[in-house]
Amino acid sequence: MTRNELVALIYQKKSFLCIGLDTDLEKIPQHLLKEDDPVFEFNKAIIDATADLTVAYKPNIAFYEAYGSKGWQSLEKTISYLKEKDVFTIADAKRGDIGNTSGRYAKAFLNTLDFDAITVAPYMGQDSVGPFLDIPGKWVVLLALTSNKGSDDFQMIKTENGKMVYEHVLQKSSEWGTPDNLMYVVGATKAEMLSSIREIIPDHFLLVPGVGAQGGSLEEVAKHGLNKDCGLLVNSSRGIIYAGKDEDFAEKARAEAIKLQQQMQDILEEAGIC
Protein backbone atom coordinates (compact mmCIF):
# COMPACT_ATOMS: atom_id res chain seq x y z
CA MET A 1 0.00 0.00 0.00
CA THR A 2 1.37 3.43 -0.93
CA ARG A 3 1.43 6.46 1.33
CA ASN A 4 -1.31 8.09 -0.73
CA GLU A 5 -3.50 5.03 -0.36
CA LEU A 6 -2.89 4.96 3.39
CA VAL A 7 -3.78 8.64 3.73
CA ALA A 8 -6.92 8.06 1.63
CA LEU A 9 -7.95 5.26 4.01
CA ILE A 10 -7.56 7.62 6.97
CA TYR A 11 -9.78 10.22 5.24
CA GLN A 12 -12.35 7.64 4.25
CA LYS A 13 -12.64 5.97 7.66
CA LYS A 14 -11.99 9.16 9.66
CA SER A 15 -9.72 7.07 11.79
CA PHE A 16 -6.02 6.52 12.40
CA LEU A 17 -6.56 3.45 14.52
CA CYS A 18 -4.36 0.36 14.38
CA ILE A 19 -5.63 -2.73 16.17
CA GLY A 20 -3.00 -5.02 17.64
CA LEU A 21 -3.76 -8.71 17.31
CA ASP A 22 -1.93 -10.01 20.40
CA THR A 23 -4.00 -13.16 20.43
CA ASP A 24 -3.50 -15.32 23.52
CA LEU A 25 -5.35 -18.61 24.11
CA GLU A 26 -5.45 -17.83 27.82
CA LYS A 27 -7.33 -14.59 27.23
CA ILE A 28 -9.75 -15.32 24.40
CA PRO A 29 -13.31 -16.45 25.19
CA GLN A 30 -13.37 -20.05 26.35
CA HIS A 31 -16.05 -21.16 23.89
CA LEU A 32 -13.56 -20.62 21.02
CA LEU A 33 -11.17 -23.24 22.37
CA LYS A 34 -13.27 -26.03 20.86
CA GLU A 35 -12.56 -24.71 17.33
CA ASP A 36 -9.81 -26.24 15.19
CA ASP A 37 -7.92 -22.94 15.12
CA PRO A 38 -9.16 -20.77 17.99
CA VAL A 39 -6.54 -18.08 17.32
CA PHE A 40 -7.73 -17.54 13.76
CA GLU A 41 -11.43 -17.77 14.70
CA PHE A 42 -10.88 -15.07 17.32
CA ASN A 43 -8.96 -12.84 14.89
CA LYS A 44 -11.58 -13.30 12.17
CA ALA A 45 -14.39 -12.26 14.51
CA ILE A 46 -12.41 -9.22 15.72
CA ILE A 47 -11.56 -8.22 12.14
CA ASP A 48 -15.18 -8.61 10.97
CA ALA A 49 -16.37 -6.46 13.87
CA THR A 50 -13.84 -3.64 13.43
CA ALA A 51 -12.54 -3.43 9.84
CA ASP A 52 -14.66 -0.37 8.98
CA LEU A 53 -13.29 1.53 11.99
CA THR A 54 -9.57 0.89 11.73
CA VAL A 55 -7.00 1.64 9.05
CA ALA A 56 -4.50 -0.98 10.18
CA TYR A 57 -4.05 -4.30 11.96
CA LYS A 58 -0.84 -5.33 13.65
CA PRO A 59 -0.45 -9.02 14.51
CA ASN A 60 2.17 -9.32 17.25
CA ILE A 61 4.31 -12.17 15.95
CA ALA A 62 5.48 -13.35 19.39
CA PHE A 63 1.95 -14.47 20.19
CA TYR A 64 1.87 -16.72 17.11
CA GLU A 65 5.39 -18.11 17.55
CA ALA A 66 4.50 -19.10 21.11
CA TYR A 67 2.30 -21.80 19.50
CA GLY A 68 4.98 -23.10 17.13
CA SER A 69 4.13 -24.17 13.59
CA LYS A 70 0.41 -24.24 14.48
CA GLY A 71 0.69 -20.60 15.54
CA TRP A 72 2.43 -19.77 12.28
CA GLN A 73 -0.47 -21.36 10.40
CA SER A 74 -2.89 -19.14 12.37
CA LEU A 75 -0.77 -16.17 11.31
CA GLU A 76 -0.87 -17.24 7.65
CA LYS A 77 -4.66 -17.52 7.77
CA THR A 78 -4.96 -14.17 9.54
CA ILE A 79 -2.90 -12.25 7.01
CA SER A 80 -4.76 -13.94 4.12
CA TYR A 81 -8.02 -12.83 5.67
CA LEU A 82 -6.71 -9.29 6.22
CA LYS A 83 -5.67 -9.06 2.56
CA GLU A 84 -9.37 -9.27 1.61
CA LYS A 85 -10.08 -6.12 3.65
CA ASP A 86 -9.24 -2.53 2.90
CA VAL A 87 -6.57 -2.18 5.60
CA PHE A 88 -2.85 -1.62 6.09
CA THR A 89 -1.09 -4.61 7.66
CA ILE A 90 1.91 -4.49 9.99
CA ALA A 91 3.89 -7.53 11.16
CA ASP A 92 4.98 -6.51 14.64
CA ALA A 93 8.13 -8.61 14.56
CA LYS A 94 10.93 -6.24 15.66
CA ARG A 95 13.45 -8.07 13.51
CA GLY A 96 16.93 -6.91 12.45
CA ASP A 97 20.12 -8.84 11.69
CA ILE A 98 23.10 -8.78 9.29
CA GLY A 99 22.03 -7.98 5.73
CA ASN A 100 21.89 -11.54 4.46
CA THR A 101 19.63 -12.55 7.37
CA SER A 102 17.46 -9.40 7.35
CA GLY A 103 16.84 -10.25 3.70
CA ARG A 104 15.35 -13.59 4.80
CA TYR A 105 13.11 -11.91 7.37
CA ALA A 106 12.02 -9.42 4.70
CA LYS A 107 11.14 -12.31 2.42
CA ALA A 108 9.23 -14.10 5.21
CA PHE A 109 7.05 -11.16 6.21
CA LEU A 110 6.88 -8.81 3.21
CA ASN A 111 6.93 -11.32 0.32
CA THR A 112 5.68 -14.72 1.53
CA LEU A 113 3.15 -13.43 4.08
CA ASP A 114 2.69 -10.21 2.07
CA PHE A 115 2.38 -7.79 5.01
CA ASP A 116 2.52 -4.11 4.02
CA ALA A 117 5.00 -3.32 6.78
CA ILE A 118 7.24 -4.81 9.45
CA THR A 119 8.60 -3.37 12.68
CA VAL A 120 12.41 -3.42 12.75
CA ALA A 121 14.95 -2.86 15.55
CA PRO A 122 17.73 -0.35 14.70
CA TYR A 123 20.62 -1.55 16.88
CA MET A 124 22.55 -3.23 14.04
CA GLY A 125 22.42 -0.18 11.76
CA GLN A 126 21.89 0.57 8.09
CA ASP A 127 22.76 -2.76 6.51
CA SER A 128 20.35 -4.53 8.89
CA VAL A 129 17.45 -2.24 7.92
CA GLY A 130 18.19 -1.80 4.21
CA PRO A 131 17.00 -5.25 3.03
CA PHE A 132 13.51 -4.46 4.34
CA LEU A 133 13.48 -1.04 2.66
CA ASP A 134 14.61 -2.59 -0.61
CA ILE A 135 11.30 -4.38 -1.19
CA PRO A 136 9.15 -2.23 -3.50
CA GLY A 137 5.79 -1.09 -2.16
CA LYS A 138 6.59 -2.21 1.40
CA TRP A 139 7.32 -0.32 4.61
CA VAL A 140 9.70 -0.45 7.55
CA VAL A 141 8.45 0.73 10.93
CA LEU A 142 11.67 1.39 12.81
CA LEU A 143 11.87 1.44 16.62
CA ALA A 144 12.85 4.92 17.77
CA LEU A 145 11.48 5.71 21.24
CA THR A 146 9.49 2.85 22.70
CA SER A 147 6.69 2.95 25.25
CA ASN A 148 8.24 0.73 27.92
CA LYS A 149 10.24 1.66 31.00
CA GLY A 150 13.38 0.06 29.54
CA SER A 151 13.45 2.73 26.82
CA ASP A 152 15.38 4.84 29.37
CA ASP A 153 18.26 2.35 29.44
CA PHE A 154 19.82 2.98 26.03
CA GLN A 155 17.45 5.04 23.85
CA MET A 156 17.68 7.98 26.26
CA ILE A 157 21.45 7.98 26.76
CA LYS A 158 22.88 11.41 25.99
CA THR A 159 25.65 11.37 23.40
CA GLU A 160 28.68 13.63 23.15
CA ASN A 161 26.90 16.09 20.86
CA GLY A 162 24.02 16.53 23.32
CA LYS A 163 21.49 14.45 21.40
CA MET A 164 19.98 11.29 22.74
CA VAL A 165 20.54 7.91 21.10
CA TYR A 166 16.95 7.73 19.79
CA GLU A 167 17.44 11.14 18.12
CA HIS A 168 20.49 9.76 16.33
CA VAL A 169 18.36 6.81 15.23
CA LEU A 170 15.72 9.15 13.81
CA GLN A 171 18.20 11.44 12.11
CA LYS A 172 20.49 8.86 10.58
CA SER A 173 17.81 6.38 9.52
CA SER A 174 15.70 9.08 7.89
CA GLU A 175 18.42 9.15 5.20
CA TRP A 176 17.96 5.42 4.51
CA GLY A 177 14.33 5.60 3.46
CA THR A 178 11.69 8.21 2.73
CA PRO A 179 8.34 9.16 4.24
CA ASP A 180 6.94 6.83 1.55
CA ASN A 181 8.51 3.65 2.93
CA LEU A 182 9.69 4.38 6.46
CA MET A 183 7.69 4.98 9.65
CA TYR A 184 8.79 5.09 13.29
CA VAL A 185 7.59 3.58 16.54
CA VAL A 186 7.19 6.31 19.14
CA GLY A 187 5.48 5.31 22.38
CA ALA A 188 2.40 7.18 23.60
CA THR A 189 3.85 7.18 27.10
CA LYS A 190 6.40 9.71 25.81
CA ALA A 191 3.84 11.95 24.07
CA GLU A 192 5.42 15.18 25.31
CA MET A 193 8.54 14.29 23.34
CA LEU A 194 6.63 14.07 20.07
CA SER A 195 7.05 17.80 19.37
CA SER A 196 10.83 17.57 19.28
CA ILE A 197 10.59 14.34 17.30
CA ARG A 198 8.42 16.15 14.74
CA GLU A 199 11.23 18.69 14.30
CA ILE A 200 13.53 15.88 13.15
CA ILE A 201 11.00 13.97 11.04
CA PRO A 202 8.08 16.27 10.15
CA ASP A 203 6.68 14.09 7.37
CA HIS A 204 7.06 10.46 8.43
CA PHE A 205 4.21 8.42 9.80
CA LEU A 206 4.54 7.41 13.44
CA LEU A 207 3.16 4.17 14.82
CA VAL A 208 2.21 4.94 18.38
CA PRO A 209 1.68 2.07 20.82
CA GLY A 210 0.94 2.46 24.49
CA VAL A 211 -2.50 4.12 24.36
CA GLY A 212 -4.83 2.30 26.74
CA ALA A 213 -3.33 -0.64 28.66
CA GLN A 214 0.07 1.07 28.88
CA GLY A 215 -1.41 4.42 29.98
CA GLY A 216 -0.76 6.81 27.07
CA SER A 217 -3.27 9.54 26.13
CA LEU A 218 -4.71 9.87 22.62
CA GLU A 219 -5.23 13.63 22.98
CA GLU A 220 -1.62 14.21 23.98
CA VAL A 221 -0.36 12.08 21.11
CA ALA A 222 -2.49 13.98 18.60
CA LYS A 223 -1.55 17.37 20.04
CA HIS A 224 2.16 16.77 19.60
CA GLY A 225 2.25 14.25 16.78
CA LEU A 226 -0.24 15.14 14.02
CA ASN A 227 1.08 16.43 10.74
CA LYS A 228 -0.70 17.66 7.61
CA ASP A 229 -1.49 14.12 6.40
CA CYS A 230 -2.38 12.97 9.92
CA GLY A 231 0.95 11.12 10.05
CA LEU A 232 -0.14 8.92 12.93
CA LEU A 233 -1.25 5.34 13.41
CA VAL A 234 -2.28 4.87 17.02
CA ASN A 235 -2.34 1.30 18.20
CA SER A 236 -4.59 -0.32 20.75
CA SER A 237 -4.36 -4.04 21.41
CA ARG A 238 -5.65 -5.42 24.70
CA GLY A 239 -8.06 -2.53 25.31
CA ILE A 240 -10.02 -3.52 22.20
CA ILE A 241 -9.56 -7.22 21.60
CA TYR A 242 -10.07 -8.27 25.22
CA ALA A 243 -12.90 -5.81 25.99
CA GLY A 244 -15.23 -8.82 26.40
CA LYS A 245 -14.64 -12.37 27.59
CA ASP A 246 -17.93 -14.02 26.54
CA GLU A 247 -19.81 -14.86 23.37
CA ASP A 248 -20.36 -11.15 22.67
CA PHE A 249 -16.59 -10.42 22.67
CA ALA A 250 -16.64 -9.11 19.08
CA GLU A 251 -19.42 -6.61 19.79
CA LYS A 252 -17.57 -5.47 22.92
CA ALA A 253 -14.41 -5.03 20.82
CA ARG A 254 -16.41 -3.05 18.25
CA ALA A 255 -17.79 -0.79 20.97
CA GLU A 256 -14.25 0.03 22.16
CA ALA A 257 -13.06 0.58 18.61
CA ILE A 258 -16.00 2.96 17.98
CA LYS A 259 -15.01 5.02 21.02
CA LEU A 260 -11.48 5.45 19.70
CA GLN A 261 -12.60 6.04 16.10
CA GLN A 262 -14.98 8.78 17.25
CA GLN A 263 -12.27 10.49 19.30
CA MET A 264 -10.03 10.27 16.26
CA GLN A 265 -12.72 11.70 13.98
CA ASP A 266 -13.11 14.66 16.36
CA ILE A 267 -9.34 15.17 16.38
CA LEU A 268 -9.06 15.00 12.58
CA GLU A 269 -11.99 17.38 12.05
CA GLU A 270 -10.73 19.81 14.64
CA ALA A 271 -7.31 19.83 12.97
CA GLY A 272 -8.98 20.44 9.60
CA ILE A 273 -7.48 17.25 8.17
CA CYS A 274 -10.78 15.67 7.12
Distances (CA, A) of 149 to 17, 65, 152, 156: 24, 24, 6, 11
Residue closer to its own copies (CB basis): 150 or 272: 150
**Cα–Cα distances in Å, from 104 out to 17, 96, 109, 111, 136?**
29, 10, 9, 10, 15
Cα–Cα distance, 266 to 274 (Å, whole number): 10
Q: Which is nearer to its own copies, 12 or 148 (CB)?
A: 148
44, 94, 223, 259: which one contacts its own copies (CB under 8 A)? 94
Residue with Cβ nearer its own copies (100 or 272): 100
Residues 129 and 173 sit within 8 Å (Cβ to Cβ):
yes
223 is catalytic: no
- CA gap 63, 214 in Å, rounded: 18
Contact call for residue 60 and its own copies (CB under 8 A): yes
Active-site residue (options: 94, 149, 245, 259): 94
Interface positions, 142-161, toward its own copies (CB under 8 A)? 143, 146-155, 157-160
274 forms part of the interface with its own copies (CB under 8 A) = no
The rounded distance, in Å, linking the Cα atoms of 7 and 84 is 19
- Please state, in angstroms and as integers, the Cα–Cα distance from residue 161 to each residue in 122, 169, 176, 201, following that order: 20, 14, 21, 19
By the rule CB under 8 A, 83 interacts with its own copies? no
- List the interface residues with its own copies, window 211-270 (CB under 8 A): 214
In the complex, the residues that contact its own copies under the rule CB under 8 A are: 22, 24, 60, 62-63, 65-73, 76, 92, 94-102, 104-105, 107-109, 112-113, 121-129, 143, 146-155, 157-160, 162, 165, 168-169, 172, 209, 214
